[in-house]
Structure 1
Amino acid sequence: MRLFRLVSLNLNGIRSAANKGLLPWAESMQIDCMGVQELKAQAGDLEGRFEHIAGMAGHFHCAQKKGYSGVGLYTRHEPSEVRIGWGHPEFDDEGRYVELRFDRPGRKDRPRFSIVSCYFPSGSSSEERQQAKFRFLAAFHPFLVALKAEREFILVGDVNIAHQPVDLKNWRSNQKNSGFLPEERAWMTRALDELGLVDVHRRLRPHDTGEAYTWWSNRGQAWANNVGWRIDYQLATPGVAAAARQVAVYKDQRFSDHAPLTVDYDFRL
């Protein structure tokens, strides 16, 4: 049986990523579902060009502000339901959440299951945005608790948090910087330990260091010197995480300042 291939990628602009070769790469990868973040596009920009990629249909949550945020999920499998936004007006206006549900009521052997593409706020630009990030984290945890109580899911996306020192090159000098603050790292620990989500990459490759990075600053020679951060994740409920078989971070081409994170799962929708 062919494995189910799930990809997550922050595009840093879908038009920019397309100009850098995203579409032929996606065609070559035999992807079943791809979560994307930072579309930086409105619905009109997507029409006629990005509604379908590599045989997959796209479902999008665009930000009200032009050229900002936005997430999508591409799938070659028909969802039973599409949910846009997670019910928090401040962050739903920013286009940060899309969920595809694959419920099969006639199949008692199939649990209720969702795939989510989510783009967590960054706090690096200002203290105001850092406080917004804290508000997001505070509200999103109980939302995930409720979601996990009713269904299995995989959340893919740019979480904008490096969890442990192994997840970034210069951890000592970044302990007071957004993305590696103690409060942010504690949120991740709580999501994994208390909520019980599984960091699929770490489950499959617990000792990965530099090869696990998924984002590199555009400043200096971060890419050339592999001064990276692991801030893109696939977080799954335990039942789904147990089906994960292999993980890879693709670095042969650069479509944005992030690299695609691919996990193959041994299940069918």
Structure 2
Amino acid sequence: MPSSSHDSTTKPLRIASINTNGIRAAFRKGMGDWLATRDVDILAIQEVRAATEDIEALLGPEWSILHDAASAKGRAGVAIASRKSASIHRVELGHPDFDSAGRWLEADYEVNGKIVTVVSTYVHSGEVDTPKQVEKFTFLDSMLTRLPELAAHSERVVVLGDLNVGHRKFDIKNWKGNVKRAGFLPEERAYFDKILGAEDEADYNNGAGLGWVDVGRKAAGEVDGPFTWWSWRGQAFDNDTGWRIDYQLATPALAASVVNYTVDRADAYDQRWSDHAPVVVDYNI
């Protein structure tokens, strides 16, 4: 059971997502200090790149941990750490011949008598005209199949993590230079049109498409960013030349309960502990 400081009856449910780019390296650089101050109830992690025992040792006994490692050691890996235990609903995504290990993990949590389903996911980065891009499209196809099933399973679902696609021009600082690169291909963005609604639809991000809501865009409005990933190279971070590829996509019922959305961007380049920034959302369940 959670301690009183994390009692969901006295405060909103705080759900955070972070691509750690290797959780052991992230903790060496300061992730533990961030986590100690953020009062997170449920933490979705991508690119774990470690064993379950490593996660348990880093986070400590107060966290309940679910972990789906990648088939290839040292690659990908997704986890969900929570203050109270959950039941795993599903790990595999799509056809059994398709390797989604380390990229999709679902868990159900009871919050004030209601079920909240949390999915930590890490979509392939892809590479144009290579098998990596084919794998990415296969994964996105599987998501389109699974999302309606999740919405039928629970009216309060959030799919969060590194989705490796900038949906709209607002999501990439230098979008003109990336229209032919993986992450901003028209074919990739079309998947998000199907999930959230196309940009030119009157009810975009508010019931269009499959009906899911991009919590970050809803909170920020029609502005650039806020970005969640910046290259380690050059002045990308200092100039805020980033990409918004880390999302919390929620069903309408859960999205309606959002009371705060924050991207925890580091104060300076040398204070970064990942090339991604945590996305933290408070839900008043």
TM-score > 0.5 by shorter chain: yes
The equivalent residue for 1:120 is: 123
Computed over aligned residues only, the root mean square deviation of the Cα atoms, in angstroms, reads 2.1
- List structure 1 segments (4+ residues) > 4 angstroms apart after TM superposition: 90-93
Cα separation, 1, equivalents of 2:223 and 2:42: 24
Q: Distance in 1 between matches of 2:60 and 2:212?
A: 29
Aligned residues: 260
Q: Tell me the alpha carbon deviations over residues 199-226 of structure 1, each in whole angstroms, 9 at most, x when there is no partner.
A: 001112213424x100012232211221
Equivalent residue, structure 2, for 1:199: 214
Residue matched to 1:258: 276
Aligned-pair identity in percent equals 40
2:231 equivalent in structure 1: 217
2:17 counterpart of 1:22: no
Q: Which amino acid aligns with 1:49?
A: A
Residue in structure 2 matched with residue 166 of structure 1 by the alignment? 170
Q: Deviations over 1:102-148 (max 9, x none)?
A: 258x95xx3x4301100011113862101110111112201111111
C-alpha distance after superposition, 1:86-106 (max 9, x if no partner): 3544554531111111258x9
Q: Which runs of 5+ in 2 are unaligned?
A: 1-9, 198-208
Q: How far 1:78 sits from its partner (Å)?
A: 2.2
2:206 equivalent in structure 1: none
Residue 184 of structure 1: aligned partner: 188
Partner deviation per Cα, 1:234-265 (whole Å, 9 max, x = no partner): 00000000000111111234121100011111
Corresponding residue number in structure 2 for 1:230:
244
Relative to structure 1, is the Cα distance of residues 138 and 84 closer, same or farther in structure 2, using a 3 angstrom cutoff?
Answer: closer
What are structure 1's unaligned runs of at least 5 residues?
none
Tell me the SS of whatever aligns to 1:184: helix
For normalisation by structure 1, the TM-score amounts to: 0.89
Aligned partner (choices 151, 165, 169) of residue 148 of structure 1: 151
Tell whether the 8 Å contact from 1:204 to 1:245 is kept in structure 2 after alignment: no
1:85 correspondence with 2:82: no
Alignment TM-score, normalising by the size of structure 2: 0.85
